[in-house]
Structure 1
């Protein structure tokens, strides 16, 4: 039996506030559907598992429902069964009854599992939605109770203790399941979601994360450094895709299916010991001549120290962005004055407006903290934002809630 395992599709995610990125997430899902249909024709694949976070929000707009229905209808018409659980984005953890997955279930497009199972021949697929770490025993007990006599596959959306992720993610410790009780269940495979890195394997349990279908974190971008008047490539864009499960009497074997990126996503780091506006403009102009491609998304990170006689106000981010005419560009200044006083992080012209408004009420240190937190949250680095706040106010914030939780928004 062949099963495709997808996760963290996040339909409706408008990364960086861009309509183009929202469409990229739509395209990634529809591309995965095309690949699943190809695999069905080639090798008889007849089931898809989605390990949570199919949607990015509990209340997706009509256009996102249209994309979901379009892709799922094609799978249903091809005779492919789709099994879905809720992730922390699909539904409220506390009251998960009302969520968009139930709509798709009522339409006959998916089998929505939450504390129940379906049998596919001799394979039992057990689904359980996301739980908080402090009530993980409920999840373990559900999985234990629902096990069958044949091959058992559990579908969950959690961080499993010990999984060696590369990029720290918000809420890892909030939605964690301890390794030992999970291993003691003796499950043949755990189809797990929540970590967005493609193909991340747990070292001791047969559990693999397919990761998101689209790039989620700026750290996954293609990355360059600009030094000595040259661009040096540090890493390629991280792979994305889903997993193919070959289920037999001897267990579950896992292989990778890659999905190419929708557009070029690039980060360029420039570091200076003595940054001057004219030098920075010259260097960014050179970078633009190499990176300004239609449809590309470029993040410029300008770091270091400002040369004597200048201040961070002398660096016009709007002017730097205008050196690019085709790509979407985000310019981030992380520069220190010669006095070693840390200047606030800014991104684009709005950053300067925010900084000046804050300075009318706050001191330089407080402004620097606020701007640093804004920049980190914008880059999906909630862990870094929390650490900045913890250092400033001297109160531990991580371990229970995300930034958005503290602000009263659903995560």
Structure 2
């Protein structure tokens, strides 16, 4: 069985408040869905921050609805958890729940797994630092105990059960400053830990959890707190087909991202660099995003404006 693991989509986010950048996100999300269909996945898991804002604009809502409808027509179920960007501080009903109620997607729960064939999927919504103990660590222990005591955990209709846990939390093992929990805190008994929150692609098998795979696919495009840089973005195709070995995950790059360039140069080199940029821009389907830092003692703003206009 193959599943697609997509995270931190942030639909509705517009870098620099540009409509083009908002539409870029819609394009790469659509690309990730289309590639998942092409790979013949049997399910898709969205691990939080589906929207950039708990009250997203209409375009973001419509885009998600269209992609979920496309997947439903292909009989590919979609499961999701919430990230902090999906959750309102006013305790309003999260908008992604609408798609659960409409039957276009299914929200994951920590104590009642979703089942597809011989796969069980559990999930926790984002828990803030102030609620880590009660919201995660205590429930983790209960969940681990429940799985260990489940007499039918090893087979469904004669097949070995695979189990996935979906979380939107930062692991301190990868970033001690942004981390909220550690691999040693995760409940045992799962074959794959589908993570969201970190915008970089990270995956590792941890001995603390029986050498199981923990993976962040990363975001589909640069986020609001990420510097302009020419980094690759994508999602994961997770292979659960081997009953005797650990789960494997292949990272899939999204190709429709707008090129982003971060460059420094001396003021005297500007004219030549502008020629290079014009040539590069003509080869790109979309105009690149540029963060240019100039060094020099005598920079004339009028000449600079003329060179870059």
Which 5+ residue runs of structure 2 have no aligned equivalent? 148-152, 154-160, 207-211
Scaled by the length of structure 1, the TM-score of the pair is: 0.63
Question: Are 2:199 and 1:196 equivalent residues in the alignment?
Answer: yes
Equivalent in the alignment of 1:105: 100
Which 5+ residue runs of structure 1 have no aligned equivalent? 222-236, 272-279, 326-411
Question: Are 2:62 and 1:83 equivalent residues in the alignment?
Answer: no
Shift of 1:18: 1.3
Count residues with an aligned counterpart. 279
Question: Are 2:239 and 1:241 equivalent residues in the alignment?
Answer: no
User: What do you get for the CA RMSD once the two structures are aligned?
Assistant: 2.4
Shift of 1:95: 5.6
Equivalent in the alignment of 2:115: 119
Of 263, 266, 272 in structure 2, the residue corresponding to residue 268 of structure 1 is 263
Of 272, 284, 292 in structure 2, the residue corresponding to residue 300 of structure 1 is 292
For residues 258 and 96 of structure 1, what CA distance do their matches in structure 2 show? Answer: 36
Q: Mapping of 1:8-407 within 5 angstroms?
A: 8-40=8-40, 45-92=41-88, 98-115=93-110, 116-137=112-133, 138-146=135-143, 148=147, 149=153, 150-163=161-174, 172-173=178-179, 176-182=180-186, 184-198=187-201, 200-202=202-204, 204=206, 206-216=213-223, 219=227, 221=229, 237-248=230-241, 249-250=243-244, 251-270=246-265, 280=267, 282-292=268-278, 293=281, 295-303=287-295, 307=297, 315-316=300-301, 320-325=304-309
* Partners of 1:3 and 1:49 within 8 A in 2: yes
Shift of 1:86: 0.3
Shift of 1:187: 2.3
SS in 2 for 1:57: coil
For residues 321 and 12 of structure 1, what CA distance do their matches in structure 2 show? Answer: 31
SS in 1 for 2:304: helix
Shift of 1:54: 0.8
* Partners of 1:163 and 1:201 within 8 A in 2: no
SS in 1 for 2:13: coil
Shift of 1:284: 2.1
> Using CA pairs below 8 Å that are at least 6 residues apart, which structure has the higher relative contact order?
2
For residues 172 and 30 of structure 2, what CA distance do their matches in structure 1 show? Answer: 32
* Partners of 1:126 and 1:143 within 8 A in 2: no
* Partners of 1:244 and 1:257 within 8 A in 2: yes
From the superposition, tell whether residues 35 and 256 of structure 1 become closer, same or farther in structure 2 (CA, over 3 Å): same
SS in 1 for 2:307: coil
For residues 96 and 178 of structure 1, what CA distance do their matches in structure 2 show? Answer: 28
SS in 1 for 2:190: coil
SS in 2 for 1:298: strand
Structure 1 runs of 4+ aligned residues shifted over 6 Å read none
SS in 1 for 2:36: helix
